Structure 1
Amino acid sequence: MTLTYRKRRSFEPGHVRKFLLIVDESPEVESALYYAAARVVRSSGTILMLYVIEPQDFQHWAGVKQVQIEEETLKARALFRLLRRKLHLVGFENIVCEELIREGVKADEIMGAIAEDEDVSILVLGASTDPKGPGPLVSMIAAGSVAGAFPIPITVVPGNLAFEDIIALA
């Protein structure tokens, strides 16, 4: 997949700095969410929450594929609501969050979302505390084919940090 990246905006009129958060059911998403929210408070902007519906093996059955997409879309919306509630519970009521659901290979869809939105400035990821490694998303971005050519800065938030530590570091 060849993508043409738009020039990143910074201080132009109408620019809204966006912190890209990849949403899934992993516990480390919360660390990334709180860090992004604290950065938004300090530097203004919004959080762009991206959920990627990845293709399944049974794609040759159109009806099954459609059901899977509908179920994943409902799950994504529920996760978005849950994360917004968590922000409200810790005092980030005024954070603006945008929601984006895309279908495809996760790495491609992340890169596509960045390429299509020139306001996306930073990708915020949470690292897993699992001894097996930092998690599939961090591993993919840090050691995958996009590692050296990523178009925006990446912030990886350690999953073992307490909420207060995350806020202090942001």
Structure 2
Amino acid sequence: MSVSEQPARAEERVFLVVVDESPEMRNALRYACRRAKRTGGRVAMLYVMDPPEGQQWGAVVDLMRQEARQQAEDVVARHADSAATLTGQPPTIHIREGKSRDELLKLVAEDRSISVLVLGSASSGEGPGPLVTAFTGKLGGQLRIPLTIVPGALTEAEIDAIS
């Protein structure tokens, strides 16, 4: 399921950010917004909901989906406001259900206006994060667009200086 607002014009560069609650996502979003503003492009945001687990009754699964959808909309709305402030225009929003990497690949294949994927790399010692690991490894060849990785340890001033 995908919700899109304000589709991009063909000539615009669209910077896609995967939205979640991680601290490094904020750096990726800031970088994408600053690059979009400087290049006359737009920001697109993808939030992927986990599918309900287990074999619950249909009504329970429906309720779980509704709650997950509401949470997704709340998270995306909060970050969409930040993106609009930084770029001067609302981002395109996509909300889907499934595995993040699978839905990300599907969206990039479906939406030809997306021209750059921007991911944040975790600054903790736990590794760069699952999407960065996947797309700098075996899945990297499946991307038709460039991947920009923004280090999670950068400050806002450092991001502003390089974007």
TM-score in same-fold range (> 0.5): yes
Task: Tell me the distance in 1 between the aligned counterparts of 2:42 and 2:55.
Answer: 35
Q: Is the 8 A contact 1:40 1:46 kept in 2?
A: yes
How far, CA to CA, are the matches of 1:59 and 1:150 in structure 2?
34
CA distance in 1, matches of 2:20, 2:69: 12
Given that 1:125 and 1:138 are in contact with CA atoms closer than 8 Å, whether structure 2 keeps it comes out as: yes
Q: Is residue 123–residue 152 contact of structure 2 (8 Å, CA) maintained in 1?
A: yes
1:33 aligns with 2:29: yes
Determine the structure 2 residue equivalent to 1:136. 130
Equivalenced residue count is 155
Counterpart of 2:104, as a letter, is: I
> Is residue 62 from structure 1 mapped to residue 58 from structure 2 by the alignment?
yes
Q: Report the equivalent of 1:72.
A: 68
Which aligned pairs between 1:9-48 and structure 2 lie closer than 5 A?
A: 14-48=10-44
Q: TM-score, normalised by structure 2?
A: 0.86
8 Å CA contact 2:36, 2:87 repeated in 1? no
Preserved CA contact (<8 Å) 2:48 2:103 = yes
Unaligned 5+ segments in structure 2 are 1-8
RMSD in angstroms over aligned alpha carbons? Answer: 1.8
Q: State the 1:148 CA deviation.
A: 2.7
Q: Which residue of 2 aligns with 1:98?
A: 92
Verify the 8 A CA contact 2:116 2:146 in the aligned structure 1: yes
Distance in 2 (CA, whole Å) between partners of 1:59 and 1:31 is 37
> Secondary structure at 2:31's aligned position in 1?
helix
Partners of 2:117 and 2:145 within 8 A in 1: yes
* Aligned CA distance change for structure 1 residues 61 and 142 (closer, same or farther; 3 Å): farther
* Match status 1:146 vs 2:139: yes
CA shift for structure 1 position 48: 0.8
For structure 1, which runs of at least 5 residues remain unmatched after alignment? 1-12
Q: TM-score, normalised by structure 1?
A: 0.83
CA distance in 1 between partners of 2:83 and 2:101 (Å): 26
Deviation string, structure 1 residues 27-74 (Cα, Å, up to 9, x no partner): 111000100000011111111110111223224532222222211211
Moved more, 16-25 or 59-68: 59-68
Alignment of 1:161 with 2:151, yes or no, is no
Counterpart CA distance in 2 for 1:142 and 1:56 is 28
2:63 is paired with a residue whose SS is: helix
